[in-house]
Amino acid sequence: MTNSSAHNRDYMNDSLFRMIGIPVVAVLANYIYYREECAVYHVSVWTTLLISLILTIILWEVNRQVLFRVRRKFPDVSQTGKRILFSVIGFIIVTTIISMSTSYILDAAGVWKHSITVAEMVHDCVLDMIFVTMVGGTYEAIYFFRKWRSSFQEAEELKKVNLQSQLDSLKNQVNPHFLFNSLNTLSSLIEEDKKKALIFVDELSRVYRYLLQNNECELTSLENEVQFVKAYFYLLQTRFGEGVKLEMNISKDCFCQNIPPLTLQILLENAVKHNKVSLSTPLHIHVYTDETNNLCVVNNLQKKIQSVPSSKMGLANIAAKYRLLNQPEVIINESREHFKVVLPLIAN
């Protein structure tokens, strides 16, 4: 979610709350604060009600801004403690200034027809703080519930996307066509080069082991993903020979960063699936980290003529995972000669 969306969500759905809450608080405060002034000093009840309404609007709107500023700085459920602490500090400072200033102005203007003592000013300030805390607590409770519900829903959706991704990958790897090609390759290797056949079986087992071990993980380290992709690429290269080439230039400093599991495998699979692969026109795949520590996957573009248009489910799956993890968007660039995907690496 962008900062603009989060900012807009802060201001959503409280118009009705304010329209009802401000008059109710103003009337209640008028009864609590100014009952004595009306009875003893014969101040008009309409005068005190107007003062109470104006003061309530000022306190509500100013403290509302304090609440939203703190909320934008500490938006997450895990930051609830900090958000409450800084909100309360802000409420105390703002409410004290507004309450004391209002009492001083009204006293200087002679509205109450008697001098207000410091004790009375402090008493009024404490009452103002109680009302502000009650209203602010209501805002925070609603916000916390919405964030918790949103986080829960996103976690559930991410689990579904991850499960679908793993199932799709397993389906693509275990389908009869893949097994037929792998077994054919293995059969040829056994006759031609038994040592190479053993390596092929070992790499094939590493591919399946990684798929099964990461079936329920949201993230995996880049180092683990790279090791898996090397095993997966070995199977591709054993099948296609020099028709497919993989070059990796990844900074060692980035190996501890994370990405959703099977992301690189999906991109390699897409490259082979949608492009011509042959000795005369080899497919070059380049995986590298750029100066901003993004992971880039680039291949030369030599599209196959396909009777059925691509569904682009693999790329959509990767993009959905990044959105659900609240990460920057995956960038996809296609030119006449190259296809490039830029993946933000995720810190621990």
Q: What is the pLDDT of residues 277-329, one digit of tens each?
A: 998 889 999 999 998 889 999 999 998 876 445 556 778 888 888 887 888 99
CB neighbourhood size of 342 (10 A)? 17
DSSP type of residue 241: G
Q: From residue 160, how far is each of 172, 312, 318, 327 by CA, in Å? A: 18, 18, 13, 18
* Alpha helices, DSSP H, located in 194-332: 194-213, 222-240, 263-274, 313-324
CB 146 within 8 A of CB 140: no
Distance CA 62, CA 80 (A): 21
Query: Average pLDDT, stretch 7-25?
Result: 74
SS3 43: coil
Over pLDDT 70: what percentage of the chain? 83
Residue 132: Cβ within 10 Å count: 26
Joined tokens for residue 49? 């009600």
pLDDT tens-digit map of 220-261: 999 999 998 888 888 888 888 899 999 999 999 999 999 988
Span between the terminal Cα atoms of the chain, in Å: 20
pLDDT tens-place string over residues 142-197: 999 988 888 888 878 877 777 666 656 645 554 455 556 667 777 777 767 777 77
What value does the mean pLDDT take over residues 40-52?
A: 73
CB atoms closer than 10 angstroms to residue 318 = 24
Question: Is the model's pLDDT at 64 over the cut of 60?
Answer: yes
- Which residues lie closer than 8 Å to 173 by C-beta, 6 or more apart? 207, 208, 211
More confident position, 142 or 199: 142
pLDDT value at residue 91: 94
| Amino acid letter, residue 148 | W
- Sequence-ordered strand ranges (E) for the chain: 220-221, 244-249, 258-259, 283-289, 294-300, 331-334, 338-344
Mean pLDDT of the chain: 82
- Letter string b/e over residues 205-244, b meaning 16 or more CB atoms within 10 A of that residue's CB: ebbeebbeebbeebbbbbebbbebbebbbbbbebbbeebb
For residue 339, what pLDDT band results from cuts at 50, 70 and 90?
very high
Please report which confidence band the pLDDT of residue 11 belongs to, taking 50, 70 and 90 as the band edges.
Answer: very low
Q: Is 77 left (phi over 0), alpha (psi -120 to 50) or beta?
A: alpha
3-class DSSP state of 90: helix
Residues 202-208: what's their mean pLDDT? 77
Burial of residue 323, with CB atoms counted within 10 A of its CB: 0-12 exposed, 13-18 middle, 19 or more buried? middle
